[in-house]
Structure 1
Amino acid sequence: MSPLRFGVGDEVVEVAVTAALNAGYAGRSQQDVAAHVAELAELGVPAPTRTPCLYPVAPYLAMQTDEVPVQHGRTSGEAEWALVVTGPEERDVLLTAACDHTDRDLEVHGVAWSKQAGPDVLGDRAWRLVDVADRIDRLTLTAWADGAPIQRGTLAELLDPGYWLADLRERDLLRPGVVLLSGTIPMLPGVDQFADRWRVELGDPDTGDTLACDYAVRRMPDPVA
């Protein structure tokens, strides 16, 4: 399994992924989360027993790629940020743009299963979390599906990275090689999430800098069985 490589300012930082975790139902307003759980239940998605959730996935699913192969037409991404722990120091925690590509047909049978069926696509540039921590809520998160805006918000809508760092520390998971995705923000009304291309941007309005991940969705041939 190839290590992840990030441009961080003038440096290149590499890390081999040892554990990957997907947060779910991780909105900062748990009242809004409860409403979202109810909406998903109407679509047949099982409700969690607690929120927020944390879904371990195979480490090889955290990847940097420009193409995601899928088995059918009902998969889609989710705009997220990712924490990447690259070393033992506070400055070694990176923040980057990410997209959790999920199998929506499988999701109705189990969210954990659907997370395991698609990759977590990460950008190839990152910021050190300590460099943006003082303005984390002002950072923006935007996604496009086939070039059309599908998600738009700020990190203030999600549980902040500090929450998850404390959670990882309590679980003895705050160690090099751990990747954690944040959970996502709501989709805009009336959008079509089943697209051939996804792009997610994490923006810093204070500096004008933007991190991105961008990939095509490729339908594989039907199985011969």
Structure 2
Amino acid sequence: MPELRFTLPDGQERRTEVHTLLNAGYAGRSQEDVAAHVAELAELGVPAPSVIPALYPVAPYLASQTDEVPVQHERTSGEAEWAIVITGAEPEDILLTAACDHTDRALEAHGVAWSKNAGPDVLAAKAWRLVDVQDRLDDLTLSAWAGETLIQQGKLAELLPPSYWLDVLRERDLYAPGTVLISGTIPMVHGVDQFADSWRVELGDPATGETIELAYSVRRLPEPIG
């Protein structure tokens, strides 16, 4: 199982071995935003989901803290998301961080769950305790850049909150140390090329000016033989 390490604002470090990794999908609070995301994916040939919101189990080894993502072809891209990471039994052991779900868009047309397992979920190295930002969660900002171009920008108020997903984890007996849940994403800026050679995601707290950021390059693998 992969081990994730996070630095908290007070300098403490938290570690957890990931045994359950989950990707939420179509998780906007606004039906207009969900419809916009469905339309974005439809342009890539992805059929509409049968249930909203969706939740996709992902192989735990795909939880990653990396600055490079190797890919097999040019039609892959990320998504700006937040992640909750359960590191212990107490409320203060739930961490909030930035994440980017790097997805194989060509495979996505054949199955969203398959595509989620074809690329890593990249998480930032810094995190906040969820309890420390709970009272202003909706005001936290989420932004992403594909290459140097801003492709996503919004607030956590646009997505279902962590409390919703924590209830789902409890209902499904998945609330345990080592569980990581990625939030689903906000709409992309129309017309921006998402197939870039790098991705960057930022989770911001306007009340304090603090940010959590991740960034990685996208590296094309050599052509296969055979």
Q: For 2:75, give the aligned amino acid.
A: R
How many angstroms does 1:147 deviate by? 1.4
How many angstroms does 1:35 deviate by? 4.7
Distance across 2 between alignment mates of 1:202 and 1:124: 12
Structure 2 residues without counterparts, runs of 5 or longer? none
| Structure 1, 83-92 or 33-42: larger mean CA deviation | 33-42
Distance across 2 between alignment mates of 1:103 and 1:39: 14
1:163-209: CA deviation from partner (whole Å, max 9, x where unpaired): 00111111111100000000000001110100111000000000000
Distance across 2 between alignment mates of 1:145 and 1:42: 18
Distance across 2 between alignment mates of 1:67 and 1:35: 29
TM-score norm. by structure 1 comes to 0.97
Which residue does 1:196 correspond to in 2? Answer: 197
DSSP 3-state at the match of 1:206: coil
Which residue does 1:143 correspond to in 2? Answer: 144
DSSP 3-state at the match of 1:195: coil
DSSP 3-state at the match of 1:83: strand
Percent identical among aligned pairs is 71
Which residue does 1:7 correspond to in 2? Answer: 7
Distance across 2 between alignment mates of 1:189 and 1:37: 13
Structure 1 runs (4+) greater than 4 angstroms displaced: none
Which residue does 2:102 correspond to in 1? Answer: 101
Which residue does 1:29 correspond to in 2? Answer: 30
Which residue does 1:169 correspond to in 2? Answer: 170
The answer to whether the 8 Å contact 2:27/2:185 transfers is: yes
Which residue does 1:113 correspond to in 2? Answer: 114
1:39 and 1:12, CA in 2 relative to 1: closer, same or farther beyond 3 A? closer
How many angstroms does 1:40 deviate by? 3.1
How many angstroms does 1:17 deviate by? 0.2
TM-score norm. by structure 2 comes to 0.97
1:27-83: CA deviation from partner (whole Å, max 9, x where unpaired): 011343135325533542122111000000000001100100000011000000000
Structure 1 residues without counterparts, runs of 5 or longer? none
Distance across 1 between alignment mates of 2:16 and 2:135: 25
